[in-house]
Amino acid sequence: MGSVGVLRNTTMVCVPLMSHSVEQLVGDMLQAKNEGADLVELRLDCLSEFNPDQHLRTIVCSRPLPIIVVYRPTWDGGLYDGDEKSRLETLLLAKELGAEYIDLELQVASDIMEKHKLGQQSKCKIIVSCFVDRIRSSKEDLSDLVTRMQSTGAHITKLVTNATDITELSRIFHLLSHCQIPLIAYSTGERGLISQLLGPKFGGILVYGSLEGNQVAGLPTLASLKEAYAVENIDADTKVFGLISKPVSHSKGPILHNPTFRHVGFNGVYVPMFVDDLKQFFDVYESPDFAGYSVGIPYKEAVMEFCDEVHPLAKSIGAVNTIVKRHSDGKLIGYNTDCEASITAIEDALKARGLVNGEAFLPSPLTGKQFVLVGAGGAGRALSFGAKTRGARVMVFDIDYDRAKSLALAVSGDALPFEELTNFQPEKGAVLANATPIGMHPNKNRIPVSEKTLRDYSVVFDAVYTPRKTTLLTDAEAAGAIIVSGVEMFLRQAVGQFNLFTGGKAPEEFMREIVLSKF
């Protein structure tokens, strides 16, 4: 197997393998190749009963694609706690056997590189790595650290951090943009996810992804890197969009927006953004490269404070679910695409039933109906204002009774304390809309109302879309109600967002096909 030389300029996808046996490791390498990996990182310290002289030749000779050999000691966060001399000899043996890359910790790299002349021309390239527990250091301090790694004679440097806030990742992007030799840099955990996904935009040469069925915490799956994000297509000109939320791992936005960007030839990428502090986030990511956002729980109301302008509909609702950075001046413009998305989804479901009892003469099938809303947050506000414009009579429940009363007042409706919801008896033919996370994965078995009242609702809508058919919808359907999934609202609001993000017209049928096949 020939050497691949120094990592390519285009981004490569690597799978870290922490297999427990040699047999499993060989099988995992083959699986990684079949799933589309460009190379694999072998964590030898995770192997049990590993004998280098006996097993290393089998591993290296069985590789179906290039390998990075890592033998991480406990003093650097690994599992190897044996003799240091034996550990380093194992890495050198991997080099002699033909491994494309070996990884050396910064603490030992200088001595080993000089003693064994590893920096000289060789088929095996040396990665010098360092783990920083926090990124409290300045850009300058991190640059100095990378310079120290470069000074060892490394062919490639690697910096791994543990971010406590998404804003810290801007320092990684700065390093990637300015490093003089190939740099692998990323942060672990959910808050660090975009350091992997956006690395290619800023010059990163390697992105890590985990195998299907063997996911590594904090890493995207190999399948998502290839299919949803298509990281090989991300470049310096790619515009960044994302979901601002907390938590964010449930988001289906990337598997809808990214393929649609590619379908219309728009150079953009949509990523999940775990945000703790809105002000810090907008202050740090002010570059035009960060061009727009979806806004999720719990920020749809709070984010209005950070918009330079708010569309009149969003202002009247008091909630923003979409932000676009205006090209001409960089100002943040807030919109609400939830309102029409949710209300038209409910209306269309009612119309599909057939217009009876004079409803054909009404402005909307919602006109005059009791509209029971559970949840007065951002999604709930959009639903209630939409229902009001259609002539429905809104009844609001929220765990924060003051918030429920405030929303009811704004839509000329009524409010009741949340604890009364279980005994609340709706009018026959009422509409129920759940705009709370109740029933969302992983707490899928809860419903927000009493099961015995479901037979009184003509239609039940659930803003939750993970899972696609919630327990509430299942029970409501069994009780005879028309059900409307949050997936339908999600699709319609995403169409509106796509139009705002790109300035074009969303391919609605293409997006619907994705939703039907992937959600």
**What is the rounded distance in angstroms from the CA atom of residue 451 to the CA atom of residue 512?**
31
In CATH, the number for domain 12-233 is 3.20.20.70
Tell me: pLDDT of 418 over 50.
yes
Highest averaged pLDDT of the listed ranges 180-184, 290-294, 513-517: 290-294
Cβ contacts of residue 207 below 8 Å, gap of 6+?
11, 12, 13, 14, 186, 196, 197, 199, 200, 225, 231
Give the model's pLDDT for residue 60.
97
Do the domains spanning 12-233 and 262-335 agree at the CATH topology level?
Answer: no
Residue type, 115: K
Q: Residue 248 half-sphere exposure, CB side, CA atoms within 13 Å?
A: 28
Residue type, 231: V
Cβ contacts of residue 379 below 8 Å, gap of 6+?
300, 319, 321, 338, 342, 435, 463
Give the model's pLDDT for residue 355.
46
CB 278 within 8 A of CB 302: yes
Q: Which residues pair with 156 in a beta bridge?
A: 127
- As a whole number of Å, the end-to-end CA separation of the chain is 41
Residue 415 DSSP one-character state: E
Q: What is the 3-state secondary structure (H, E, C) of 374-388?
A: ECCCHHHHHHHHHHH
Residue 260 host element (H or E): helix 253-264
Q: Which residues pair with 104 in a beta bridge?
A: 128
- What's the average model confidence in pLDDT over 277-302? 96
The three-point CA angle 226-146-43 to 5° equals 50
Tens of pLDDT along 242-268?
999 998 887 899 999 999 999 999 999
Q: Which of 229-238, 281-290, 443-452 has the lowest mean pLDDT?
A: 443-452
Tens of pLDDT along 161-197?
988 999 999 999 999 999 889 999 999 888 999 999 9
Q: Which residues pair with 26 in a beta bridge?
A: none
Tokens, residue 515: 């939703």
> What architecture (CATH level 2) is domain 262-335?
3-Layer(aba) Sandwich (3.40)
Q: Which of 96-110, 351-365, 435-449, 477-491 has the lowest mean pLDDT?
A: 351-365
Q: Residue 437's Cα: distance from chain center in Å?
A: 18
Task: Characterize the bridge pairing of strands 39-43 and 12-17.
Answer: parallel
CB 237 within 8 A of CB 268: no
Virtual torsion, Cα 119, 120, 124, 126, nearest 10 deg = 10
Give the model's pLDDT for residue 362.
74
Residue of 475, 482, 257 whose CA lies nearest to 347: 482
Tell me: pLDDT of 519 over 60.
yes
Tens of pLDDT along 351-396?
987 644 455 557 899 999 999 999 999 999 999 999 999 999 999 9
Percent of the chain at pLDDT > 90 equals 82
Residue 242 host element (H or E): strand 239-245
Catalytic, out of 125, 300, 325, 388: 300
Q: Where are the domains of the chain?
A: 12-233, 262-335, 339-484
Residue 300 annotated among the catalytic residues of the structure:
yes
In CATH, the number for domain 339-484 is 3.40.50.720
Tell me: pLDDT of 8 over 60.
no
